[in-house]
Chains A and B, each alone.
Chain A
Amino acid sequence: MGNSEATEKINEIKEAGGEGLSAKLKELEDRVAKIEEKDGNLTLILMSGEFDKAMAAFIIANGALAMGKEVTIFVTFWGLDVIKKPAFSTAGRKFLEKMVLWMRPKGPDKIPTSKMNFAGIGPKLFRYMMGKKNVEKLGSLIEMAQEFGLKIIACQMSMDVMGLRKEDMIDGIEVGGVAVMLNKSYKSNSTLFI
């Protein structure tokens, strides 16, 4: 190898190395950004329509919001009972949809407990005991979380099955499907199914 040939080779390697390095650096920066984007964000999937489980979900949501995190609750199936308005007209729904809507409780003040429900006496007892201990009501936990920026996404498919419409739900919610939920979940550090 002649001298000029070697210099050429070295320059070639240097150039390739330089470019390779900056490309590598760019790739690493992108990956770090992707990790930092998650930064403790939380996704909750609320499948349950029971008072105790909904309490847990919204207390966790509020806590994470207080820590400055982005929180999303994807509400599906029985969970929809939790975010219904206390009263809405079922006009224009099919017979079976009307039946389901009539049989299901509406909103945080009406939902049962998962244990010790005793045909509706249990929830009254727990709400009374929680009131005595100054535990915030489920309804106001939901409102507060929304004020803090909680994103509530109601499952389109479950709403369709039960004949529920967006206007039957509390204000400020969005409607979406599994891809929306997964997209949020992949951008979170933790996802809980309740």
Chain B
Amino acid sequence: MAKTELDFKGMSCPMPIMKTAMAFKKAASGDIVEVVCDDPGFEPDIRAWCNETGNVLDSIEKKDKDIVATIIKK
């Protein structure tokens, strides 16, 4: 199980979701992807994206302005 860390700070909608989706295309089932983003819309968006795609949102936390989402590929 590989772990990828992605930094999408400074990007705005729809880029963080697009870039996340691109990373998931390459990932294998069970891989962990950690995404850092400072777009306030990223939190509800990544929740919705996981809900729709079936990937597991393992944790999501705020660190100052940054949102850190840990997602496991289904």
Contact = CB atoms under 8 A, between A and B. Distances in A.
Given A62-B18, A144-B18, A67 B53 contact: yes
Contacts of A148: 18, 21
Contacts of B52: 40, 67-68
Contact of A63 (B10, B11, B12, B17): B17
A134 B10 contact: yes
A59 interface: yes
B17 A136 contact: no
A66 B21 CA distance: 5
A115 interface: no
A66 B18 contact: yes
Contact of B13 (A40, A59, A65, A67): A59
Contacts of A66: 14, 17-18, 20-21, 49
Nearest to B11: A134
Interface in B40-74: 49, 52-53
B18 A134 contact: no
A135 B12 contact: yes
B28 interface: no
A65 B17 CA distance: 10
Contacts of B21: 65-68, 148
Interface string B1-43: 0000000001111110110110000000000000000000000
A1 to B, nearest CB: 57
Contacts of B10: 134
Contacts of A133: 12
Contacts of B14: 59, 62-63, 66, 136, 141
A65 B12 CA distance: 17
B32 to A, nearest CB: 19
Contacts of A40: 52
A66 B20 CA distance: 8
Q: Which 9 A-B pairs have the closest CB atoms?
A: A66-B21, A67-B52, A62-B14, A66-B17, A63-B14, A59-B14, A66-B18, A135-B12, A134-B12
Interface of A: 40, 59, 62-63, 65-68, 133-136, 141, 144, 148
